[in-house]
Amino acid sequence: MASGSFHLKQAIIHPEAARFNVNSAIEQLEDSVKPLFHSTVHLFQSSLNHFGGNFRKKLASLSGFA
């Protein structure tokens, strides 16, 4: 049996333990995904700032305001 696995029979006999295992697995997944999500959002924001700034400069130069 793999580490962390939980049999259906045990889940039926001990539903609270099964619920705890599921909640624990969800918390572990959230903890591992949060840093990736935050770094992705940061990368997206910095890309928008970079390209948005260049777009505004280009638009201003085309409009004669630069």
- For residue 18, give the nearest of 30, 4, 3 by alpha carbon: 4
* pLDDT range class, residue 6, cuts 50, 70, 90: low
Cα dihedral sign for 8, 10, 13, 18?
negative
What confidence score (pLDDT) does residue 3 get?
A: 46
What confidence score (pLDDT) does residue 58 get?
A: 75
Per-residue pLDDT tens for 12-59? Answer: 667 777 777 888 888 888 888 888 888 888 888 888 777 777 777 777
pTM over 0.75: no
